[in-house]
Amino acid sequence: MTTTNNNEQGTPWVLIIGGIVLAAWLFNQAPQPKPSPYSKPQVTVSASLQEMQQVAKAGDKTAVAKLANLYSDFAETLSRVEPGSLQSSQLRTWLINSDTYLIRGTNMVGAVPGFGSAKDKVITEALGLDDRPLDAKDIATAVAACRSIADALGAK
């Protein structure tokens, strides 16, 4: 008898608790959005970015704006790179080539003194100098570094 009474009184609670557990389980089974390798870049560039901001203030405004666009575009391009398909040395070559194509033969040459050194510091702080294949985290870091450079130069 006691057992029957307990069952009669306990059943609704058992059902409620069971329902909560089931709902929680089903929620966990629902497809979760996959974390993007680029969603939370692990990069700290604030120290060297201060130098970049000072370089930008002192430089030619038009040249600074063009460099801001260049690094903004660079971040966009890099975000489409497949992890493992790009080596640090290749990224360096990309940076050098794009800088050359944009600036050589124009009045931008020498227009933003200290930019090259400041830019190198930001990227070195983010990626180091080891020549290696860039994995998803490295690429996310490189994207963030380029965006930070663009922002420091006043990209809109």
Partner 1 sequence: MGPKIIPKGSSFWGANLSFDRVDSILAAYESGLAGAYSEPEETAALISENKALTGFGSIGEAATSNAWADSGKGQLIFPWVFVLEQFPGCWPGPAQEVGDCVSHNQKNSSLLSMVCEVVAARPDEVTQLLEAIPHVTPAAIEQGVFSTEAIYWWRRHSGHGWSCAAAARVMQRESGLWVRQNYPDLGIDLSTYSGKQTELFGATPPTGKIAEAGKSHLVRAYAQCNSAEERRDALANGYGLSTCGSESFSRDRDANGFSQRTREGWAHAIADIGFDDRPDTIKIYGDSLELKLNSWARWNKGSRDVRDSARLVPPAKRAAWIRCGAVNPITGNLMIPEGAFWVKSRDVAQREVFAVSSVNGWPRRKLLNWGGSLAG
- Chain residues binding partner 1 by CB under 8 A are 55, 59, 63, 67, 84, 88-89, 92-93, 95-96, 99-100, 103-104, 108-117, 119-120, 123-124, 129-131
CB atoms within 10 A of CB 137: 15
CB atoms within 10 A of CB 111: 17
Residue 29 Cβ vs partner 1, minimum distance, rounded to whole Å: 19
Long-range interactions of 9-17: CB distance < 8 A, separation 24+ = none
Q: Would the CA dihedral through 132, 133, 138, 142 be positive or negative?
A: positive
Residue 25 Cβ vs partner 1, minimum distance, rounded to whole Å: 24
Residue 133, SS3?
strand
Residue 76 or 131 having the CB closest to partner 1: 131
Residue 43 or 108 having the CB closest to partner 1: 108
Residue 111 Cβ vs partner 1, minimum distance, rounded to whole Å: 6
